[in-house]
Chains A and B, each alone.
Chain A
Amino acid sequence: MTELAAPAPAPAPGSEARAARRERLRLLLRSPSFIIGAGIILFWVVCAILGSRITPFDPLYDQTADLSESPSRDHLFGTDRLGRDVFSRVIAGSRDILLVAPLATVLATVFGTVLGLTTGYFRGIADDTVSRIIDAVLAIPLIVLAVTVIASLGSRSVWSVTIVIAIVFSPIIARTVRAAVLGEAQLDYVEAARLRGERSPYVMFVEVLPNVMPPILVEATVRLGYAIFAVATLSFIGFGLQPPSADWAVQIADNYPYLSDQWWTVLFPALAISSLVVAVNLVSDSLQQVLER
């Protein structure tokens, strides 16, 4: 038989898969929203890492300036009631939120993926039960749920915020993963794996999981945006990060009673939060466009 005598398959030689990956990267890098979003995120990450080493004043204790000074040459964003430089605090304030939100998202993604894979793969009663519980949990407003859990934990550490957000977000991710797995598990390769005697965990994690990664990645970036928001909200109402952290939401909470005559102490941290959330969403949108084409 000579069908393969000339081993040059129709698609031109050269790894098609690698080309597709390069093409995806090229599309990403050509998308302005991705560049802008990634730039802003990178900026905040650098600020978080370097923190007080690059701020002109000590973000926590510096009291060299006058109290409640409006923006000036020396203090670009003014100073707060305690005489701390708002600019320095905005730069340093990125650290905690950039630690808690991504960590919570990663935890939620891992947990949600395991949950979604299991329910979507096995279906049946376990799936019905878990799915209804997830639906019920999703019906409760997120913040109410988080506040309840934190209050019952009694501890308000960075860790408990992280864990709480991870718990609250994982059902949402589980639902997305489950939907993707339902379609994927119909495919014949899953049956072929079972028919050669593979155990379920192998089929789920080695056969199915790599094929549902794109929606999981997209969902994770979307959740990151929400996680930032959730951390900020919890901190603002006093259930999240605690003073003396220079966290943006803590700053807003500290200063918003004086909003009418010290607008700069609230406006700049607020802008910082929105810039980060918008940037994450820009990245997630462009990622979605490229991955789910």
Chain B
Amino acid sequence: MSTILPILPEVMLLGLGILVLLIDPFIKKDTDRRNFLGLFTTSGLLLTLVVSILLARPAGPVLVFGGMLRFDWLGFLFKMFFIFAGAVTALFFMDTEKLNQRAEGFLLLLAASLGMCLMASSADLIMLYLAIETTSIPLYVLAGFLTGDRKSTEAGFKYMLFGALTSTVLLYGFSLIFGFTGKTNLYELSSHFTHFDLVATSITFLVLTGLAFKVSLFPFHFWAPDVYEGAPTPVAGFLSTASKAAGFTVILRLLTVVFPVISLDWSLILAVLATLTMTIGNLIAITQKSVKRMLAYSSIAHAGYAMIGVVAFSQLGMASVVFYLIAYALTNLLAFGIIGIVGRATGSDDFSAYNGLSRRNSNLALGALVAFLSLAGMPPFAGFVAKVFVFLAAVNSGWTWLAVVGVLNSIVGLYYYLNVLKSVYLFRMENQEEEKNPLAVRRPVAVALVVLVVGILLVGILFGPWFGLASRAGLALF
């Protein structure tokens, strides 16, 4: 029995997915279906979360299932986070037309979460590739889920084309690794890449290209804005947070386990990539007219901030990346949640749709305040400490200039995030009749928002214990 514990979350996710499909035909009325499927998925995910935390905590890092998976804190922490993000997203699904009607939507969400969980703990190239595809394919479908909507279809198709292309590049890299070493287990490979040569360079290049796409690093970020804009908002939120975090776990593991020596040689290149990712993401975000697109570019920029911690390449650096990803993901889930509500109520994602929001629903406006200030890196929200730790890691490893680039970028970020708040608090609707147009939030979504706000505050204020967890996850890499 104990052997199944390392994959207990995955097993439960699979079981839950099957149950959702089985139950679906028995619900006749659309309204029942809308409420039931979402609540069922959410409570199932929460149950998985609780059971896993109670029963399936890792002790020390061990390779399990013939070396396919590694049962360690990095994997565990992220698995728990993906399940949490899945639960929140399921609540957001309940408020989205079409997504809430069909069990397939929830099933795909669960399948993607399952894939992410495997991504976070894979210790073998084959398993890793399978996990990445298990994550990606449901997400392609989800992005294009609104079949009647041309933008959504376009998003799904675009995402699939780009994704398939980079997957092949990644797979090519993996095949080279296998070809030159004859091994597929990450932890056996570590001794093979000890110096910088043509083979190692091309392998690193191919693998990084594939993964850079997943986390939307420059220059593989082009897909993100279009896909986020077209995809149903909760799906975009899930893509920009959980999927990105999953990509980062793979980057962290590969760089520290397979290419520890080469990574040091590559750190200047990674630093330049981080700089470009942050700067380009932020600069383009300024010019956006749609909040959703702006958030897409901002999420590119955030991948750049997280890369700063990767460049630092120390235990502190890894811990700060983990902390950053979680803080950022919580915040971005909240931001996309709010966009979803406003988008549904006003039918638009433009800045003007946010005019007068604080008069239409003052609590929702406060939620927006928390989300955007946390993204900007203001205390007492999670974004502040996350940024400081990443910069501190950079300074500690001698990358002071990179930290300076990071803080300068966060100034740019502050500017465009404040622009959203300007619409929310300052501008008014055209008819100035906000009081007559209150913006209602459905209960499940409200619950999700409150949970996220509380989470952001908890991580941002009581950051000690959270960072302890992140350090533990970071330590598991070395």
Q: Do A and B come from one complex?
A: no
Binding site for A on B (CB under 8 A): none
Binding site for B on A (CB under 8 A): none
